[in-house]
With several copies, the nearest count.
Chain A
Amino acid sequence: MDNDVNLSVEVAGVPFKNPLIAASGTFGFGEEYHELYDVGCLGGICSKGLTLHPKDGNDGIRVWETASGMMNSVGLQNPGVEAFIETGIAQMRRFGNVLIANMGGHSMEDYVTGATMLSASDIDMLELNISCPNVKSGGMAFGIKAEVAEEVVRAVRKVCTKPLIVKLSPNAENIVEMALACERAGADALSLVNTFQAMAIDIRKRKPVFNNVYAGLSGAAIKPIALRMVHAVCKQVRVPVIGIGGIYTAEDVLEFIMAGAAAVQLGTVNFNNPLAGREVLDDLAQLCRREGITDINEIRGVC
């Protein structure tokens, strides 16, 4: 049945059996969703966001629903790179798909040390999350200014022996310049977008909902903006781009691939429908058949 449509794609030399990847922070290390379906059917899984040292994350409310979306302020709670290497990798390995470690950091040194450790481990790819606030530059995220991002990517590139994906923030001053800077600095692929900086206020308490005041917006609400950014970046860079942002359906997947994406990530949709990964995959094969697409690679970038 499925053999008539080729869904397999390649990103930076790594083969994926299909273009669907679970997005970092929304899928744990895969085992919770594996209780519901074989998550090995996905092309790949991004680990929850790791930092060099374990982190407790933020206090207070961490998730908040918005119109066709949600905000989160988890604050990178994670067991740290070492614990991930010790136990997380083995857990993720048994799914049999591409294992992507997502890593953030608050200083250049953390990024470099973490990337060095992960390079020596059994991961398939490293996804560098540059949306984290940079402690040294007064909390401005690494992912805002292209020069700052270029520097951190260059440093990580030097130590990283795995295919390196750099995950861009939509809060970047100029997403295309940011992409070009990261490409120049040696990224093998780019993924975008991370969450949009956003705010909610509890009018009864007359206070921001989140202790940190701002939090990250994701979900269907942001899809049109994410698609524009992916399209604009794909027109300018040569490295493959992984599209992210409000992808809920097989139709959404095709939109991103037609905009030029090599693959896509599913994030918030997992919360709306815990079987989303498998269902979007099934729908994608069917939709391709209906649209006369025999190889998903043939429609990449037609728009």
Chain B
Amino acid sequence: MKYLVGEVSVNQQITDDIWVVRVSCEPVEAKAGQFYMLKSWDTEQTLMRPISVFKAEEGCLWFMYRVVGQGTRRMSFLEKGDAIRLLGPCGNGYPCEQIKGRVALVGGGVGIPPLCETAKTLQRNGVTVDAYLGYRDVLFAVEDFEPWCTDMFISTEKGEEGYKGFITDLLKPEQYDVVLTCGPEVMMRKVAAMCAEHDVTCYCSLEHRMACGIGACLGCSIRTKSGMKRVCKDGPVFLSTELMW
């Protein structure tokens, strides 16, 4: 984990509220499912913002983010050549080394981007990856998954693209050895319950408000079956059976 200065090489609007930023920085040590604390300001915002690694490449990192508040709005103003601060990689990431066989990645909304690096890593490890991507209305990042996935399932709430409804409607956990999920809590809860029913291992990547991002402030602690855990350090990825929601 390091505190780096990166340089923005691309910062592009993908949909109404989704942006993707490419940051050149050294060294890139991120693994699938990890995140960075980012800031593109000095002290105008007190805290850095946790954003997951969308894609990690030699000498650069990609982040995909939704503009929801002041911090992400400011990030959207970044231009090529601007500096950005990165603290990370933070968190545990998905345990890709331990995963074998057939895997389903189930993502919803801005829970989709973190699964992209995961798809790549697993595919390269010889795992068969299917992606289940649930959107509100407009798609993003789909083409980034394609190289790594065997089957891809898409849903939108009103059926603008792909299946009309929730992505969990399409999932059959019993077809998989492991299910990895990231997205809204309701979605992940549903996925976890479906997996539990079929005794399929399921990992969930949680969101929580964070201050330090590195385990020092206990601002992101949650109650789990093995006691209090820090989402930023002990997570963000947890075995679904550990969670108490």
Contacts and interface: CB of A to CB of B under 8 A. Distances in A.
A68 B218 CA distance: 20
B116 to A, nearest CB: 27
Query: For A36, A56, A65, A248, which residue has the most chain B Cβ atoms within 10 angstroms?
Result: A65
A275 interface: yes
Nearest to A49: B218
B219 A28 contact: no
A295 B57 CA distance: 49
Max count, chain A CB within 10 A of own CB: residue among B48, B214, B217: B217
B43 A270 contact: no
B48 A77 contact: no
Contact of B216 (A26, A64, A66, A67): A26
B220 interface: yes
Contacts of B47: 63, 65, 70, 271-272
B181 to A, nearest CB: 22
B198 interface: no
Interface string A220-231: 100000000000
Nearest to A271: B211
A63 B230 CA distance: 13
Contacts, number: 90
Nearest to B41: A272
Interface string A35-58: 110000000000010000000110
A62 interface: yes
> What does DSSP make chain A's interface, helix, strand, loop or mixed?
loop
Interface-central residue, A63, A68, A77, A275, by most chain B CB under 10 Å: A63
A72 interface: yes
Interface residues of B, number: 26
Contacts of B87: 274
B215 interface: yes
Interface string B184-212: 00000000000000000000000001111
A110 B33 CA distance: 42
A25 interface: yes
Given A56-B223, A62-B219, A274 B212 contact: yes
Given A26-B216, A27-B216, A62-B220, A68 B211 contact: no
Contact of A72 (B1, B219, B223): B219
A48 B218 contact: yes
Contact of B223 (A59, A70, A271, A274): A59
Interface string A243-257: 000001000000000
7 contacts: A62-B218, A63-B219, A65-B45, A65-B46, A66-B46, A220-B43, A220-B46
Given A48-B218, A56-B223, A271-B48, 9 more contacts: A56-B221, A57-B221, A63-B217, A63-B219, A65-B45, A66-B46, A69-B46, A72-B211, A248-B43
